A and B are shown apart, each in its own frame.
Chain A
Amino acid sequence: MSDIIQNLKDSFGSYGFSSWQALVSLLFVVVVIVIIAKYRKDIFELSTRSIVAVGIGAALYAAISFIAIPIGPNTSFRIAIALLTIFGALFGPVVGFLVGFIGHALNDAMAWGSVWWSWVFLSAILGLFAGFVKVDKKFNPLKGLLEKKHIVQMYLFAFMSIFAASLVAYAGDVFLYGEPAGKVWLQIIIASFSNFGVIAVVGIPAVIVLANMNKSKQNLVEEE
């Protein structure tokens, strides 16, 4: 095993970065997905409703992405990131992933003419992680079901998503686009702070607001 890691380190040595970090994070994401798939298979099934949610969510994401304030070198503050948290929490990880992927790719293609694939995956992974909270059946903001522990979970998953997404974007930028590592780190650190800020200040509170609104509408109790 150490030989393999050493080999990988050598082959990517000229980039000043070891690819095993990216590999470990990728493995981590895969393991999480496999565990969830084992317990909640239904989470990965796409109903008609979630398909429409992906479509409208992606349209929203692409439309709101036009509100962007540059905060770093080719990096901007985007309020649209909050949508990933909201759609992930409302409809689950698959919808979150697809909203991020399709929305970001559409916005890139239509506003700028070229798609920056590694950052498309950054958005997609933020959405994916935002949906993991939905694994708990007691969590459903559309029916007004939200407990305190879910809020803590959402913040935890948001924190983890920032790391996973950063590593994916980093790997893509450095290995595919051939950007120097130092510059990419600068961009990623700026983007991570702004993204986490948006998720923590706008995204998660919006989910809580929606859940509370739906709670007051709900006067029927589901029987087991």
Chain B
Amino acid sequence: MSRSGSLYIERPSIIHRLDGSTKLLLLIGWTAFIFMFMDIRIFSIMIVLGFSLLKVSKIPWKSIKPLTYFVVAFSLINSLILLLVTPQYGSELSGSYTKLISYFGGAITLETVWYAVTLSFKYVSILPITLLFVFTTHPSRFASSLNRIGVSYKVAYAVSIAFRYIPDVKEEMMNIMHAQEARGVAFRKGDASLVKRLRNFVTILVPLLISSLNRIEVVSNALQLRGFGYEKKRTWYNRRPLTINDGISILLMTGLIGLGIYLKSQLTYFWLFY
């Protein structure tokens, strides 16, 4: 697959050699583990662990940087809104009220600020494993790994098709947009009012839909001619046998989930620093 919409970067690393299905299970397990807690100590450990794994995978920081900055910016905006809309939420959770800033409507409590910080750490701690998955899994191996963990091969193949056609669809979209611009339809800032520009985007949608419907016909005819969907199972050209590393990773992840369930019963849900 030469053209693809994915972010895959080829590097010789142990994480690249792991099977896609292992990495998918790691992603699911990691996310489930994070979802169990609201504790900044756990999130800090997971952030350090996650970014060291990214280091091991030899993905250049240059490609991770924009996505990391985005999540940090997202968390900051999120925290700000959280403080404005629910200034006492942290106190309701922890049961202690320490006024930090008072204004005429109410007061922002220290607990809420801490809560916002914890929540931001939570979002950042989910990031490295997703990046790891997105950057080190080849899209055509991804479909076979989805199939391996029990997703029907037809659905897995649909994901593969989606990856394959994202660049084509984008190109088509730009072509239609340029054609419409040549006819005088405004899409750029300053050319027309916001409402008008939004309405203009609809003029892309219908031609794009019609060309996509044609594409669906062509691709599904091609697949049908090759007998796709005739059998209950299929084999994958890109599937590789599982190695000992895959087994170790899965074991470690199971251990982490077990530890999570144990910690969950020991710790209070929302940990305060004092």
Question: Which residues of A are interface residues toward B (Cβ below 8 A)?
Answer: 14, 16, 46-49, 51-60, 62-64, 67, 69, 73-74, 77, 79, 82-83, 86, 90, 98, 102-103, 106, 109-110, 112-115, 117, 142, 176-183, 186, 202, 206, 209-210
Contacts and interface: CB of A to CB of B under 8 A. Distances in A.
Given A74-B74, A79-B202, A113-B130, A58 B159 contact: yes
Given A63-B173, A67-B201, A103-B162, A183 B85 contact: yes
A202 B137 CA distance: 36
Contact of A59 (B5, B152, B220): B5
Contacts of A181: 86
B258 to A, nearest CB: 20
B86 A183 contact: yes
Interface string B125-138: 01100110110000
B209 interface: yes
B93 A14 contact: yes
Contact of A206 (B133, B165, B205): B205
A54 B158 CA distance: 6
B70 interface: yes
SS class, residues of chain B in contact with chain A: helix
A43 to B, nearest CB: 15
Given A52-B158, A112-B71, A202-B202, 18 more contacts: A48-B223, A51-B155, A52-B216, A55-B158, A55-B159, A56-B161, A56-B165, A57-B212, A59-B163, A62-B5, A62-B166, A103-B162, A106-B159, A109-B7, A110-B6, A142-B213, A182-B85, A183-B81
B223 to A, nearest CB: 5
A210 B209 contact: yes
A74 B220 contact: no
Given A113-B71, A178-B38, A60 B119 contact: no
Given A51-B157, A55-B165, A79-B202, A14 B92 contact: yes
A51 B82 contact: no
Interface of B: 5-7, 31, 35, 38, 64, 67-68, 70-71, 74, 77-78, 81-82, 85-86, 89, 92-93, 115, 119, 122-123, 126-127, 130-131, 133-134, 152, 154-155, 157-166, 168-170, 173, 194, 198, 201-202, 205-206, 208-210, 212-213, 215-216, 219-220, 223-224, 228-229, 269
7 contacts: A14-B269, A54-B158, A56-B161, A64-B173, A73-B77, A112-B74, A177-B122
A117 B32 CA distance: 11
Given A49-B220, A58-B162, A114-B123, A177 B157 contact: no
A78 to B, nearest CB: 11
Contacts of B133: 109
Contacts of A90: 213
B126 A48 contact: no
Contact of B161 (A59, A73, A83, A183): A59
Contacts of A117: 31
A198 to B, nearest CB: 9
Nearest to A80: B205
B243 to A, nearest CB: 25
A69 B130 contact: no
A177 B157 CA distance: 30
B81 A98 contact: no
Contacts of A56: 161-162, 165, 169, 212, 215-216, 219
